[in-house]
A and B are shown apart, each in its own frame.
Chain A
């Protein structure tokens, strides 16, 4: 039981490039989330999903897109990378009884 797996762990992007951050969970959780954390700050919600085919915006969705075609996977897409998107990205999934389970994060630098 791996929990929440994020790939890659580290990435450097040039301004204007695009990439997809992968997130997969094997706990059969319906609910999944993407957060970003800037240095020294708390986590901010980007997007979330309450089930396959259903996604919604969080607090800071601009510059990002998501999809949820399966229960297990919730990829986050950056289309035109900007320096302001330099951050650590955390994916999480949840159930009512057990709270949230977070992945180990993707550290992204845009130069």
Chain B
């Protein structure tokens, strides 16, 4: 699976949009971009994933650049409960394929 690069930490103001970048310059054509988050001491939680088109769900939006070498997770209106470590992972979407977690971005939402 391709490696990803994320900033180690970032702060965000409550109520504002949080834009989390991820670089995956060696991504292959059949690898998806996944985002998970881990709120303190809990198991990771799936947020969103995409291949090349932008995706949106009730939690977030995922913007993937045209060359697919980077992406941005957008939390449209950050709340204090969004404080967590966010993981960007790229992998082939196939049965049983394993998730490999990097260091992630530690996001602190401030009032």
Instruction: Tell me how far the C-beta of B39 lies from the nearest C-beta in chain A, rounded to whole angstroms.
Output: 11
Q: Which 6 A-B pairs have the closest CB atoms?
A: A102-B43, A99-B46, A50-B96, A42-B101, A43-B101, A31-B96
> What are the residues of chain A within 8 A of B96 when measuring CB–CB?
30-31, 48, 50, 94
| Interface check A92, CB cutoff 8 A | yes
Q: List chain A positions with a Cβ less than 8 A from chain B.
A: 4, 30-31, 33, 35, 42-45, 48, 50, 58, 88, 90, 92, 94, 96, 98-105
Complex-state Cα separation, A86 to B25, whole angstroms? 35
Restricting to B36-57, which residues have a CB under 8 Å from any CB of A?
36, 41-46, 49
CB distance from B104 to the nearest CB of A (A): 7
Contact with A along B78-105 (1 / 0, CB 8 A): 0000000001000001111011111110
Nearest-Cβ distance from residue B21 to partner chain A, whole angstroms: 18
Q: Which residues of B contact A92 (CB under 8 A)?
A: 43-44
Which residues of chain B have a CB within 8 Å of any CB of chain A? 34, 36, 41-46, 49, 87, 93-96, 98-104
B95 near A50: Cβ-Cβ < 8 Å? yes
CB pair B43–A42 under 8 Å, yes or no, is no
**B43 contacts which of A30, A94, A104 (Cβ < 8 Å)?**
A104
What residues of A have a CB within 8 angstroms of the CB of B98 in the complex? 33, 45, 48, 58
Q: How far is the CA of A77 from the CA of B44 in the complex (A)?
A: 22
Q: CA separation between A30 and B95, bound complex, in Å?
A: 9
Interchain residue pairs with CB less than 8 A apart (9)? A30-B95, A31-B96, A43-B99, A45-B100, A90-B43, A92-B44, A96-B93, A104-B42, A105-B43
Q: Establish whether residues B46 and A100, one from each chain, have CB atoms under 8 Å apart when the complex forms.
A: yes
CB atoms of A99 and B43 under 8 A apart? no
On whether the beta carbons of A103 and B43 are closer than 8 Å, the reply is yes
Alpha-carbon distance A50/B94, docked complex (angstroms): 11
By the criterion CB–CB under 8 Å, are A100 and B99 in contact?
A: yes
Give every chain A residue within 8 A of B95 (Cβ-Cβ).
30-31, 50, 96
A43 to chain B: which residues have CB within 8 Å?
44, 99, 101
Which of chain B's residues have a CB closer than 8 A to the CB of A104? 42-43
